[in-house]
A and B are shown apart, each in its own frame.
Chain A
Amino acid sequence: MLKIEAQPWAVMVEHGRACFPRECCGILVGSAGDAGDNVVTLAIACTNAYEGDQKDRFELDPRDVIKAERAAREQRQGVVGFFHSHPNEDAYFSATDLKFSAPGYSNVVMSIRDGEFSHAKCFIANFDQTAAEPEELHYA
């Protein structure tokens, strides 16, 4: 289960709206507790580093991930997942999302329709990235 506090959730939705009609992306920092029970206390809105049409693609800059990891460790927390948006599409985990994921992280996908938040879902890729399991998602 992934629980997102109100402040990081607001950051995520605003990033999704601001990037529309392009995909947004970012990093989720939270308590590095037992898997399946993470609380997100910080969402970091990142620049989409994909070189090309970003209406249906995103890429995180690994340097942003390193920075987030360092900041998280100072708070005795960790990077627990990532988020991105699907402009005018539902919040599913696509084959592309799965192929370029990393196992064990929570991946929040937000559907942004006509520039406004519609719905969100969360997924975790399995060990060999052949499938993604839905993860229960709670947000404030």
Chain B
Amino acid sequence: MPKILIPTPLRQFAGNNDTVDVAGVATVGEALGALVTQHPDLRKNLYNDEGKLRSFVNIYVNDEDIRYLSKEKTEVKDSDTISIVPSIAGGGR
């Protein structure tokens, strides 16, 4: 089944797991839905009040950003790894 890699600061909301396996999912959206069902404390860390992924959350399937695939409708296979990758920028200005 697809696995989701949990970044360090979010592990405390995922039962201290660094990886969560999600069964019976066909898309990235379903996989993330299964993740926050298993670990409800993750929901507000990943999604805003409108149910959209928060601005700093990038989702990758293997090496591909889902924004350049089919976003949350991107299909996932059992062998796929989904990464939650923080988006980081800034500046002194």
Q: Does B51 contact A (CB under 8 A)?
A: no
* Interface segment, one of A1-9, A10-18, A53-61: A53-61
With A69-B83, A105-B9 known to touch, is A62 a contact of B60 (CB < 8 Å)? Answer: yes
B48 CB, min distance to chain A CBs, angstroms:
9
Q: Which chain A residue shows the least CB distance to B62? A: A66
> Is B58 touching A104 in the complex (CB atoms < 8 A)?
no
> Is A66 touching B63 in the complex (CB atoms < 8 A)?
yes
Q: Does A89 contact B (CB under 8 A)?
A: yes
Contact residues on A (Cβ < 8 Å of other chain), bracket:
35 or more
Chain A residues in the interface with B (C-beta under 8 A): 23, 25, 32, 35, 50, 56-60, 62-63, 65-66, 69, 73, 78-80, 82, 84, 86-87, 89, 92, 94, 96-105, 127, 129
Partner pick for B88 among A32, A56, A60, A69, CB 8 A cutoff? A60
Measured between alpha carbons, how far is A65 from B84 in the docked complex, in Å?
Answer: 10
> Is B90 touching A102 in the complex (CB atoms < 8 A)?
no
Measured between alpha carbons, how far is A65 from B86 in the docked complex, in Å?
Answer: 8
B17 CB, min distance to chain A CBs, angstroms:
11
Looking at A50, A69, A105, A127, the one whose CB has the most chain B CB atoms below 10 A away is A69
